[in-house]
Amino acid sequence: MTYRVVQWGTGAVGVEAIRGILDHPELELVGVKVYSEAKAGTDAGVLAGRNPVGVTAEVDVDTAAADAVLYAPRHPSVDDAVAILASGANLITTAFAFHPARMAPADRERLQRACAEGGSSLHGTGLNPGNLGVVIPLALAGMSRTVEHVTVQERADWSVYDSTEITFDQMKFGSPINEVDAHTDGLRFTSHLFREQVWLLGDALNLGVDEVTTELEVIPASADRDVCGRTLRAGTVAGQHWQWTGLRKGVPVIEVETLWTVGEPQPKHWPAPRHGWTVTIEGTPSMQAHLMTLASFRRDVPLEEHVRSASVATAMQAVNAVGAVCDAPAGFVTMADLPLSLYRGAR
């Protein structure tokens, strides 16, 4: 069986997805959606740094003939998602919908109706939220007799992430420190995605989570810094410590924590897990796993390549889920519903 796939968005994740689709033995790239006129008309292979493949990137792309759309825009749009799902294409996204059942009711109902109309499924996945933030904790918990508490920590420096629109405009690094809190536009949206992750872990593990709280501490830059060609000024936001906590009757049972800096040393009062992702389950037995993505553990490669490996992993978790999402019953399909997304060899 070959699944026909449209790649929606050709940023850091989208370009890696194109490479992944082209290499995947069960997938065929049938369309590419771009936002910038400058990229429109370019061959998808060329956008991915390869030879032409005969698929042209377009601003207006028809999804009706596709089995799946791999949706990786900078800002997801419920309107676009509804149109794609209603056209009959399954939607796999790294950008939102990690636990659609816990979305705002108006959006959830529209998406549900679109799935019913198109006989299609909606699946959100990636790295965190995604494989490392959800699939790994769920897999570890499969060895548990009791789970008392789950912690997922991400420690990362964003200074070489080349999507500076996301770093500065969406995530508000480089913004005046007194203008940024958990409710600031852009951050509120991102925060909601991590809140969905807490609900998903709580619901999937049946931990009785009845409330999710959000805390954010921001720290200022101690000096001006160049971040992929943009300047992050001294005194503006250079670090964010987020904590989303799932409570059962007031007692924390799940904590998802991100320790994000942009070239700034972490303050001493922050927790200091190793860079990457640390998953800790307190229970019977208690378990801990530390995970990281690199371009190689053997070869000497530039830092940018190591950083890019996180985009490869994000994209491939979605690419490798295409077949299972297409085969799933219509509706919302979470990472807790799908079988393991397996690597299937490369063409």
Ligand X SMILES: NC(=O)c1ccc[n+]([C@@H]2O[C@H](COP(=O)([O-])OP(=O)(O)OC[C@H]3O[C@@H](n4cnc5c(N)ncnc54)[C@H](OP(=O)(O)O)[C@@H]3O)[C@@H](O)[C@H]2O)c1
Residue 94 C-beta: closest distance to ligand X, Å: 4
Cα 60 to chain centroid distance, Å, stands at 24
Q: How far apart are CA 167 and CA 232, in angstroms?
A: 10
Residue 286 C-beta: closest distance to ligand X, Å: 26
- Shorter beta-carbon distance to ligand X: residue 74 or 248: 74
Give the closest residue to 196 by CA, choosing from 289, 284, 286, 122.
Answer: 122
Distances (CA, A) of 209 to 49, 202, 253, 293, 315: 45, 6, 7, 30, 30
Distances (CA, A) of 142 to 80, 110, 133, 294, 336: 36, 34, 15, 27, 12
Q: Are 99 and 123 in contact (CB under 8 A)?
A: no
- Shorter beta-carbon distance to ligand X: residue 133 or 239: 133
- Shorter beta-carbon distance to ligand X: residue 3 or 158: 158
- Shorter beta-carbon distance to ligand X: residue 165 or 179: 165
- Shorter beta-carbon distance to ligand X: residue 144 or 214: 214
Give the closest residue to 107 by CA, choosing from 98, 93, 97, 121.
Answer: 97
Q: Which residue is nearest to ligand X (CB)?
A: 11
- Shorter beta-carbon distance to ligand X: residue 158 or 330: 158
Cα 200 to chain centroid distance, Å, stands at 14
- Shorter beta-carbon distance to ligand X: residue 133 or 330: 133
Q: How far apart are CA 254 and CA 125, in angstroms?
A: 19
Element (H, E) at 311: helix 303-319
Residue 321 C-beta: closest distance to ligand X, Å: 12
Residue 65 C-beta: closest distance to ligand X, Å: 21
Residue 169 C-beta: closest distance to ligand X, Å: 9
Give the closest residue to 198 by CA, choosing from 270, 145, 128, 250.
Answer: 128
Residue 47 C-beta: closest distance to ligand X, Å: 8
- Contact residues: ligand X, CB under 6 A: 9-14, 34-36, 39, 72-75, 94-95, 126-130, 163, 165-166, 311, 314
Other Cβ atoms within 10 Å of 188 Cβ, number: 12
Residue 115 C-beta: closest distance to ligand X, Å: 20
Residue 345 C-beta: closest distance to ligand X, Å: 24
Per DSSP, helices labelled H in 67-186 are 78-86, 105-118, 136-141, 164
- Shorter beta-carbon distance to ligand X: residue 133 or 263: 133
Element (H, E) at 13: helix 12-23
